[in-house]
Amino acid sequence: MKRLLVILILLVLVGAGAYFFNQYWIHRFDPLIARQAGIYRIDPDLVWCVVYEETYFRPWKVGNDGEIGLMQITPAVGRMWATETGMRDFERQMAQDPKKFLSDPERNIQIGCWYLEKFYEQFRDMPGAEARMVAGYNAGASRAEEWNRSSDNRQLSADEFITRIDIPSTRAYVSSILNRYRKLKAERAREQQQLQANSNANSAGGGH
């Protein structure tokens, strides 16, 4: 009986440790994401979901097609960003050692947010712009534009847009990110409601 109790306690401790380590792991870049998303006017929750999908917060990851870092930035996108900044030092670093440059977490997130902003500007007035943004991020601007066209020139809903994605991996990518994004937004809304309810209860209690 005593041995069973010890085993149960150990299992609880291991489970709690695994939970808290995972929470640390998936949120340790939150300040960087919030800062760069704010600069580029992108929802940090969407950026977080992209990082989750791309690398599960592993800054050292290199993709099969040469994508680098947390947001799997390609050297081509990195060079575009460096050129647009007009900073010759960035251009030089990208030319000399793109892997080292793009492996830096904050720089990687900065470039990823810059790239997402381009799709935001392109699709911001569309319903469910996030679907188009992450599709473009994954498959490129020209494909996102193609999937966004309708024969009757009407604006497609997010679900209609997703059904038009003819690359299975991109369709799965977009669906996975949006599902996680919606769950995160729902969780944020519940937290806000709870905070508001607690605030109202405290105000009511203080009035007596």
3-class SS of residue 178: helix
Q: What is the mean pLDDT of residues 178-187?
A: 96
pLDDT in tens, 5-16: 777 777 777 777
Q: Which residues pair with 73 in a beta bridge?
A: 68
The two tokens of residue 155 are 């604006």
CA 156 – CA 103 distance, rounded (Å):
36
N residues, the chain: 208
Q: Is 29 helix (H, G, I), strand (E, B) or coil?
A: coil
Give the pLDDT of residue 208: 54
> How many beta carbons lie within 10 A of that of residue 83, not counting itself?
13
- Is residue 77 exposed (0-12), middle (13-18) or buried (19+ Cβ within 10 Å)? buried
pLDDT at site 207: 57
pTM of the model as a whole: 0.89
Mean per-residue pLDDT of the chain: 92
Domains observed in the chain: 31-198 (1.10.530.10)
